[in-house]
Structure 1
Amino acid sequence: MSEVKNLCLLVEDQPKTQEFLVKAMNQVFPETQVFACTHLKEAKNWLDQMVNSDRKDLFRIALVDLGLPDGSGIQLVKKLRDQFPEVLSVVVTIYHDDAHLFEALSAGASGYILKDENVEMIAGILKRIQNGEPPLSPAIAHRLISHFRIPETAKGRDVDLTARESETLALLAKGFTVAEAAGKMGLSAQTVAGYVKIIYQKLHISSRAEATREAIRRGLA
């Protein structure tokens, strides 16, 4: 067995999926030891232990499923962003909709891979990390491009937001509820709800996913 030079945290509750993800990691990074967890709580405990571990510097990558038995993998992505900012956090999921995608990116994910890819495809996507490229499934890369492509008619017509509106948009993109955002801003929930309504009207959006995408585009998230 090769000398262990890197550590990877894998959080996946389905045995077969866990098996082929370990296989993909071993294929691309043979000197990486994979620690597999099936629950959010188990993964959080592992991270808490890693904070003071003498092997902390070997921790390089985390593969995180979103739909876990005891909660959302988004919680783990946020924990990784806050405690291990140098670790590459990659979501591996069945969800390919805007809401999950932009929530994960806003939470701190550096990659997004769909589980319906085969082992060879996932290995190829992970291999891009060696070249400093973001690990994204082709379908996700195309989705991002299509969402951030600005129509000719919209160029030069960026809508200005007030400081409070920008602050509200940033908090929404980070996953805070209206009530939580109000607490952060020191305002009433009714006032912040009013800001949200104005933001949606100004930007011609109608969902949190669109709000998150716009916040990322504006550099607020």
Structure 2
Amino acid sequence: MSTNSTPSTVAPLRVAVLVGSTREGRFAPVVTRWLSGQLGQRADLRTDVIDLVETPLPTVFPAFGEEPAPGTEEALALVSPRLAAADAFILVTPEYNHSFPASLKNAIDWHNAEWHGKPVAFVSYGGLSGGLRAVEQLRIVLAELNAMTVRNTVSFHNSWGAFGEDARVDDPAVDAAAKAMLDQLTWWAQALRDARSLRPYAA
């Protein structure tokens, strides 16, 4: 008789979606609405959308040994616990000058342990490049923070013409790309959550 047992239920994975653009007239809410629809189809995932317009973070870091500016702790309290609770991340980013927004870099830099031993996926958008150059630079940054970026991404080239009403995208290839990305993210999130439950990540 086998002594192996499998839990009857597995807690859904918590995915934090970080909306990186804060520019006036940004296209990010359309892309994020589409992504939320994709995530909503997954019973194994729970989504927390963190919009940096709604939860702005300070842009001035204290010098070593100095106290943070007034209001810093309050601003971080709206974001940091949500990143810490996440099992995985999806960064929604445009491409600005062959790179990603300063607001997204700022949010990344205010945190450290929150990224450790967790997977990150990307949904990018832009012109001809579809934001892929921003994604490649983000991979380098997140590697320094001990995060694991998944291979598959979703990128919207000439994104302003890719979406219909209600952030709909009538392209089976996009749905297939989203599924492949979320499947990879889920695999890594489950594996790394199990690993972190056994022992702390060795940063």
Q: Which has the larger radius of gyration?
A: 1
TM-score (norm 2): 0.46
| Structure that is richer in helix per residue | 1
Higher relative CO (Cα under 8 Å, sequence separation at least 6) belongs to 2
Q: TM-score, normalised by structure 1?
A: 0.43
